[in-house]
Amino acid sequence: MAKIDTSVLQPHSFSDKTLADCRVLIVDDEEASRLVLSSVLEEFFQCTCIGDSASVIRTCEQIQPDLILLDVNMPGKDGLTLCGELKQTTHSAAIPVMFITGGGDAALQDTCWEAGASDFIAKPVVASTLIHRVKNVLQSKLRLELISEMTFRDQLTGLYNRYYLTTEIPTMLKHLIREQQPLGVIMMDIDNFKGFNDTYGHVEGDKCLHAVATALKSCLRRPQDFAMRYGGEEFLVFLPNTSQEGCETVGNAMVESVQALHITNSISPYKEVTVSAGYIVMQPEHSSKLEDIINQADEQLYEAKAAGKNRLIG
Ligand code: GH3
Ligand code: MG
Ligand code: MG
Ligand code: MG
């Protein structure tokens, strides 16, 4: 029988984040106001308070809040201007903003919506109303996060899926073109996998796919790098802003880490499950097509198969 580590065999479980895990960033220049808001909310959520509007964008990058409670009137940068900036910044654009407004007149409320508010609440704040409104916004955010994770991930392996490739990669390419940064692409395929299925059955085959995907993920070190299940037993790895040397290091680590799983495959000349990989490093241009990039990496993969499998060629 194939020897597989059963600790990595559970199918990918999507996010189990709850309301209690959500981080709320409270931004208000008045200390008394921050204290009131945090004392009401910290029983239910993870709260962080700041009084200085200038440091909000940096703080968002550091703690990635799920909601920002934002005072409208603050010295220096006011809440409305800050909200506009948050919505223009990649890492904070999706964070809902709830305004805490001093006055409740309709014109100000309109301005809050136009600035990108998800909701607002008038001072003086009623504790129970605040809690309900915050819970509502966070519930919606959690649902959206779960749906987007399910949309973009392959359920068996937990890796990104093809839909992610077609929707997200063009944005990544545009960024690389603008910054004049190279892209490393690795195309990978499990060796002799048809024989593995025929010998051990498709259930063991699925477990093997999960274990291989976990090994590949463990080789990714930077947040911008990602691996994707391209087809049945084929994987694509994208390494933005990576040199030839960097690509080779990651690719070799992946090939080695799969063999290091020591999953028996009696029909393989290596007697274990292995992968072959081909890589390219290229400078994306406006004329670059995703299909061409993948085809080039695929040609290298073909060379790796022809040269005896269980290796990286680029
Ligand atoms: P090579 O070394 O040349 O890549 O040979 P191979 O046998 O791996 O190549 P081939 O393309 O003939 O086989 C791919 C196999 O992958 C066929 C199919 O049964 C299996 N496969 C694809 N998707 C899945 C899946 O989701 N689960 C399982 N268990 N098997 C899958
Ligand atoms: Mg104020
Ligand atoms: Mg294949
Ligand atoms: Mg194969």
* Cβ of residue 201 lying under 6 Å from some atom of ligand 1: no
Task: List pLDDT tens digits, range 204-244.
Answer: 999 999 999 999 999 998 988 999 999 999 999 999 999 99
Q: Where are the alpha helices (DSSP H) in 24-67?
A: 31-41, 56-63
Task: List pLDDT tens digits, range 143-154.
Answer: 999 998 889 999
| ipTM greater than cut 0.85 | yes
Q: Which long-range contacts link 78-85 to residues 24+ away (Cβ below 8 Å)?
A: 78/53, 79/27, 79/53, 79/115, 80/111, 80/112, 80/115, 82/27, 82/53, 82/56, 83/112, 83/115, 83/116, 83/117, 84/115, 84/116, 85/57
Ligand with smallest separation from the Cα of 78: 2
* Cβ of residue 28 lying under 6 Å from some atom of ligand 1: no
109 or 195, which is more confident: 195
Beta pairing, strands 67-71 & 97-101? parallel
CA of 93 to the centre of ligand 2 (A): 23
Task: Indicate yes or no: pTM above 0.80.
Answer: no
Q: Contact, 172 vs 254, CB < 8 A?
A: no
Ligand with smallest separation from the Cα of 191: 1
Sheet holding 183-190, edge to edge: 226-229, 234-240, 183-190, 275-282, 312-313
Measuring from atom 25 of ligand 1, which residue has the nearest CA? Answer: 232
Which of 30, 149, 233, 248 is flagged as catalytic?
A: 233
**Which residues touch 150 (CB under 8 Å, ≥6 apart)?**
14
**Which residues touch 192 (CB under 8 Å, ≥6 apart)?**
265, 267, 268, 274, 309
* Cβ of residue 209 lying under 6 Å from some atom of ligand 1: yes
**End-to-end CA, the chain:** 34
Sign of the dihedral through C-alpha 247, 253, 259, 262: negative
**CA separation, residue 49 to residues 32, 59, 97, 176, 259 (Å):** 11, 10, 14, 36, 48
Q: In this predicted structure, what is the pLDDT of residue 3? A: 61
Structure tokens at 156: 């068996």
- Whether a cis peptide bond, with omega within 30° of 0, leads into 223 is no
- Mean pLDDT score, 64-68: 97
Which of 55-59, 121-125, 199-203, 259-263 shows the lowest mean pLDDT across its residues? 121-125
Sign of the dihedral through C-alpha 179, 281, 298, 256: negative
**CA separation, residue 103 to residues 72, 108, 246 (Å):** 10, 8, 56
CA of 231 to the centre of ligand 2 (A): 54
Q: Contact, 209 vs 156, CB < 8 A?
A: yes
Which residues, by Cβ under 5 Å, contact ligand 2, an ion? 29, 71, 73-74
Q: Judge whether 245 counts as a catalytic residue.
A: no
Task: List pLDDT tens digits, range 83-100.
Answer: 999 999 888 999 999 999
Q: In this predicted structure, what is the pLDDT of residue 169? A: 86
Q: In this predicted structure, what is the pLDDT of residue 104? A: 66
d(CA 99, CA 108): 11
- Cβ-based neighbour number of residue 184 at 10 Å: 25
Measuring from atom 11 of ligand 1, which residue has the nearest CA? Answer: 194
Residue found by looking up tokens 């208000």 in the block = 28
* Cβ of residue 196 lying under 6 Å from some atom of ligand 1: no
Q: Contact, 220 vs 305, CB < 8 A?
A: no
Which residues, by Cβ under 5 Å, contact ligand 4, an ion? 189-190, 193
* 168 closest CA partner among 90, 92, 220, 232: 90
Q: How many whole angstroms from its chain centre is CA 80?
A: 29
Q: Which mutation among 155, 197, 258, 263 tests ligand 1's pocket best, with the greatest number of atoms within 8 A of CB?
A: 197
Q: In this predicted structure, what is the pLDDT of residue 114? A: 92
Percent of the chain's residues with pLDDT above 70:
95
d(CA 256, CA 216): 10
Residue 170, pLDDT > 90, answer no
- Mean pLDDT score, 126-133: 96
